[in-house]
Amino acid sequence: MENKILGIILIIVSVLILTTTIIYNFQVKGLIVELMETSGGECVVGGDCVHEKSQFPLYLGSFLFILLLITGIYLIFDKKIEKSTKKIEIPKNLDEEEKKIVDILRSKEGSAYQSDLIKQTEFSKVKITRVLDKLEHRKIIERKRRGMANLVILK
């Protein structure tokens, strides 16, 4: 929820920057027209063209507007940022094999295929199944069938 609020704030700030940039641009153009009328059609002051110097703030304001707008929209609509980052309570009395599996699952954002756990732990299929059975019985993990494979998920 905080990211949505931040996104809305960024969009509001970007609109304010755009408004300020547009107002600045109109005022500078008006001043340049006055300068050219009083100087007889010359826009060169001190060896530099006034038109070229007046464009930098316009480009900078436009860049900031686009950057803040895109960032704000991203923060409002990004689902990955919204995911709850609840802390998974793991009992302290796990044996080494169980700890190893839980650590792997944590590093993989809470889920992995059973075949991947076999590869990473180098445990046999039977041993992985037994350890997962114990963890599932203690309600630490849950196994879901995905075709011919099992997805192991931390609860």
Query: DSSP per residue over 55-69, as a string?
Result: THHHHHHHHHHHHHH
Pair 65, 108 in one domain: no
| 114, 150 Cβ separation under 8 angstroms | yes
Residues 65 and 127 in one domain: no
Do 47 and 114 share a domain, yes or no?
Answer: no
Asked if residue 119 is part of any domain, the answer here is: yes
Per residue in 31-88, pLDDT (tens digit) is 878 877 877 777 776 777 766 777 888 889 999 999 999 999 998 888 765 454 445 6
Question: Of 51, 82, 113, which residue constitutes the final position of a domain?
Answer: 82
Q: Do 105 and 69 belong to one domain? A: no
Q: What is the mean pLDDT of residues 19-31?
A: 89
- Residue 124 belongs to some domain of the structure: yes
Distance of CA 2 to the CA centre of its chain: 13
Final residue before a domain boundary, out of 27, 57, 82: 82
Pairwise pLDDT comparison (124 vs 57), residue with the higher score: 124
Residue 88 domain flag? no
Q: Helix (H, G, I), strand (E, B), or coil: what is residue 23?
A: helix
Considering the domain architecture, whether residues 12 and 71 belong to the same structural domain is answered as: yes
pLDDT at 117 over 90: yes
**Domain enclosing residue 72, as ranges:** 2-82
C-alpha atoms less than 13 angstroms from C-alpha of 114 in its C-beta half-sphere? 23
Is the sign of the CA dihedral 99, 100, 104, 107 positive or negative? positive
Asked if residue 102 and residue 77 are part of one domain, the reply reads: no
* CB-based burial, 43-79: b 16+ in 10 Å, e otherwise: beeeeeebeeebeeeeeebeebbeebbeebeebbeee
Please state the pTM of the whole predicted model.
0.47
